[in-house]
């Protein structure tokens, strides 16, 4: 894999983040590169990185990345990075300072359409590469989906949960990829319309 320090893969659900993570990291099992892939234990849908395309990668499930500091590895993969914490991104900083390569994937925008705090913290580390992926909008079928629409009882969830809330994928909610036109997001910001008149 390329010798960059921090690679970040972002996008809504179904945009192929897992597919890209598997593509980047699975060859490492055939090398002598010491590596470990962590996935948030809050992600309950799968036991590892499992792309809807079928590609898969074994992971260590964890609620904290602190354990990564005790491992002697050259490459650390992180899946569902939005489900970790800002403190975990401080762990990523230390890994990078040590010369460990880090590849992290996750959704960038939460149920409100606002950036997850740990993702913002990750971007503040100055990644060498950021890939923004898009999905096909599950409503209009344009290949322009940037949001993950949360549905509750089949309807868009417009109640506002705390920022950066990790949501289960266990049937409590359903999720759709949606473009800017089709997303129905909670109103969290009052836009002063005359400023744009
Ligand atoms: N609405 C959609 N937009 C794009 N791909 C989709 C959609 N629904 C299903 N897919 C399939 O999902 C695959 C990507 O899934 P996955 O790697 O699990 O994405 P992510 O990790 O971003 O959720 C695509 O390659 C495609 O086969
Ligand atoms: C919108 C939203 C989603 N989540 C969760 C739901 C899933 O478990 C993951 C994303 O899975 P992917 O298919 O691998 O992209 O994230 C969340 O925690 N918070 C949200 O706002």
Compute the distance between CA of residue 123 and CA of residue 6 in angstroms, rounded to an integer: 10
Domain assignment present for residue 188? The answer is: no
Model pLDDT for residues 18-46, shown as the tens digit of each residue: 999 999 999 999 999 999 999 999 998 88
Using DSSP, state whether 109 is helix, strand or coil. strand
State the CATH number of the domain containing residue 90. Answer: 3.40.50.300
* Residue tagged 């074994």 (tokens): 58
Domain assignment present for residue 177? The answer is: no
Q: Which residues contact 67 (CB under 8 A, 6 or more apart)?
A: 60
Judged against a pLDDT cut of 60, whether residue 64 lies above it is answered with yes
Q: Which atom number of ligand 1 is nearest to the Cα of residue 19? A: 17
pTM value is: 0.94
175 is in an annotated binding site: yes
Domain assignment present for residue 144? The answer is: no
Q: How many CB atoms lie within 10 A of CB 195?
A: 6
Q: What ipTM was reported for this prediction?
A: 0.98
Which residues are tagged catalytic? 80
What is the residue range of 24's domain? Answer: 6-135
Domain assignment present for residue 59? The answer is: yes
Domain assignment present for residue 64? The answer is: yes
Domain assignment present for residue 174? The answer is: no
Model pLDDT for residues 128-152, shown as the tens digit of each residue: 999 999 999 999 999 999 999 999 9
- Find the mean pLDDT for residues 97-101: 96
Q: Is residue 74 a contact partner of residue 97, using CB atoms and an 8 Å limit?
A: no
Q: Is residue 117 a contact partner of residue 84, using CB atoms and an 8 Å limit?
A: no
153 is in an annotated binding site: no
* Residue tagged 């580390």 (tokens): 125
Q: Which atom number of ligand 1 is nearest to the Cα of residue 49? A: 21
Q: Indicate the number of domains in the chain.
A: 1
Distance between start and end Cα atoms, the chain: 49
Domain assignment present for residue 95? The answer is: yes
């Amino acid at each position: 894999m390329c010798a960059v320090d921090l690679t970040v893969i972002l996008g809504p659900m179904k945009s192929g983040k897992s597919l890209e993570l598997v593509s980047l990291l699975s060859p490492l099992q055939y090398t002598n590169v010491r590596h470990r892939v962590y996935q948030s234990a809050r992600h309950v849908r799968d036991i590892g990185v499992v792309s809807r395309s079928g590609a898969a990668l074994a992971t260590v499930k964890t609620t904290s990345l602190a354990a990564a500091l005790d491992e002697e590895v050259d490459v650390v993969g992180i899946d569902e990075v939005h489900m970790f914490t800002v403190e975990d991104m401080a762990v990523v900083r230390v890994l990078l300072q040590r010369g460990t390569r880090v590849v992290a994937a996750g959704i960038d925008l939460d149920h409100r359409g606002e950036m997850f705090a740990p993702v913002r913290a990750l971007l503040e580390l100055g990644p060498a590469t950021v890939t923004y992926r898009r999905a096909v909008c599950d409503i209009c079928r344009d290949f322009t989906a940037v949001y993950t629409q949360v549905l509750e009882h089949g309807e868009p969830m417009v109640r506002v949960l705390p920022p950066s809330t990790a949501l289960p994928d266990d049937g409590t909610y359903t999720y759709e990829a949606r473009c800017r036109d089709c997303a129905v997001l909670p109103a969290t910001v009052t836009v002063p319309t005359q400023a744009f008149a």
